[in-house]
């Protein structure tokens, strides 16, 4: 399985506890989408409410006035001028937990319920695709702040590949991590790729960074205690989870006017028009997953073509398979 999720937006990073499911296993795609979606709560004290036909009969005029109410409440939220803003509900997750703008869970008397909560519920869902709700709240608040200034912001996305077979990749030019980097950095807006411990690994000693092996049960005889390597050894998949991160830049097209020059070198101003996302990180995981899947299946097909039956060299030696592609057995295997 290949699952990607947002791990940072600007300076707001996912809490370490949110990097995996509470049970210790990797997140699933369904969990990332569910846990990573927030509902925005509005503050009725700013005059906000959901307009109905009773309030404004004309649908077009009702939508116009609703937008004005939304924008007014959003402006107040972004400015942070509300009294006791730490106590004001801002987001609700899929489990109906309530958080303030900083991702602090509100409980007891601070947690709204009943008609009070109903009056705050907006129809706005934010699919942040960060499966840790408190972190997603902080990221959303930052995105809303950036949007208010007609600017944009970038971040990072992590990807975890589980159940990857041993033996995919090459020891030199077509190392599996190199193939992944090639594919991922071919995607729009990507600016960096790191696997395993990545750049943080440079701060460790070799004795800390090494992945010592230990005995394992079942068909697998050995396994590493840690996975700082990120799922590959010498450019070849090791059977461990492949874990990598991708840097995504801020969107270039923003609402602010920017000084530039035309083709003649004359000074001018670039003023982009239309709707532009302040952050594309929530849209990135499906792209990362798709490209990663293509790279892995391509590597698997190369391995299949090399061995004639999809087994690694070690597997062939173990079960006595002839790896010679010209052998009659492998000819029959390819025909079948």
pLDDT in tens, 153-205: 999 999 999 999 999 999 988 999 999 999 999 999 999 999 999 999 999 99
CA–CA separation, 296 vs 148, rounded Å?
Answer: 40
Contact present, 249 and 188 (Cβ < 8 Å): no
Coil, helix or strand for 96?
coil
Query: What would the mean pLDDT of 101-112 be, rounded to a whole number?
Result: 93
Contact present, 269 and 257 (Cβ < 8 Å): yes
Q: Which two tokens stand for residue 58?
A: 């004309």
CA–CA separation, 220 vs 143, rounded Å?
Answer: 45
Alpha helix (H) ranges present in the chain? 29-35, 59-79, 114-118, 133-148, 176-184, 206-209, 284-307, 313-319, 328-335
Coil, helix or strand for 26?
coil
CA–CA separation, 301 vs 303, rounded Å?
Answer: 5
Residue 120: Cβ-neighbour burial (10 angstroms; 0-12, 13-18, 19+): buried
Confidence of residue 276 (pLDDT cuts 50, 70, 90): confident
The pLDDT of residue 115 is above 90: yes
The pLDDT of residue 47 is above 90: yes
CA–CA separation, 322 vs 213, rounded Å?
Answer: 30
- Chain position carrying tokens 């509300």: 82
HSE-up (13 A, CA, CB side) for residue 65: 15
Coil, helix or strand for 233?
strand
Query: What would the mean pLDDT of 104-124 be, rounded to a whole number?
Result: 93
pTM confidence score? 0.85
HSE-up (13 A, CA, CB side) for residue 319: 8
């Amino acid at each position: 399985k290949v699952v990607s999720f947002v791990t940072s937006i600007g300076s707001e990073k996912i809490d370490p506890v949110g990097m995996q499911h509470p049970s210790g296993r990797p997140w699933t795609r369904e969990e990332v989408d569910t846990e990573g979606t927030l509902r925005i709560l509005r503050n009725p004290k700013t005059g906000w409410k959901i307009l109905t036909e009773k309030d404004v009969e004309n649908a077009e005029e009702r939508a116009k006035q609703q937008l004005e109410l939304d924008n007014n409440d959003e402006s107040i939220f972004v400015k942070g001028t509300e009294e006791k803003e730490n106590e004001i509900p801002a987001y609700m997750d899929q489990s109906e937990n309530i958080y303030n703008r900083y991702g602090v869970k509100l409980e007891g008397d601070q947690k709204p319920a009943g008609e009070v909560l109903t009056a705050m519920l907006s129809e706005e869902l934010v699919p942040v695709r960060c499966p840790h709700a408190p972190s997603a709240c902080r990221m959303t608040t930052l995105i809303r702040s950036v949007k208010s200034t007609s600017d944009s912001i970038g971040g990072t996305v992590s990807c975890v590949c589980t159940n990857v077979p041993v033996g995919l990749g090459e020891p030199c030019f077509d190392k599996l991590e190199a193939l992944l980097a090639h594919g991922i950095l071919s995607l729009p807006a990507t600016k960096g790729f790191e696997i395993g411990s990545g750049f943080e690994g440079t701060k460790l000693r070799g004795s800390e960074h090494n992945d010592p092996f230990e005995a394992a049960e079942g068909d697998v005889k050995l396994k590493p205690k840690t996975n700082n390597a990120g799922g590959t050894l010498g450019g070849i998949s090791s059977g461990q989870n492949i874990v990598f991160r991708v840097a995504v830049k801020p969107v270039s097209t923003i609402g602010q006017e920017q000084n530039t020059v035309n083709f003649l070198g004359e000074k001018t101003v670039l003023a982009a028009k239309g709707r532009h996302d302040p952050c594309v990180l929530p849209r990135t995981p499906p792209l990362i997953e798709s490209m990663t899947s293509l790279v892995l299946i391509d590597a698997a097909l190369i391995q299949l073509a090399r061995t004639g039956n999809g087994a690694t060299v070690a597997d062939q030696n173990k079960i006595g398979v002839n790896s010679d592609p010209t052998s009659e057995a492998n000819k029959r295997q390819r025909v079948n």
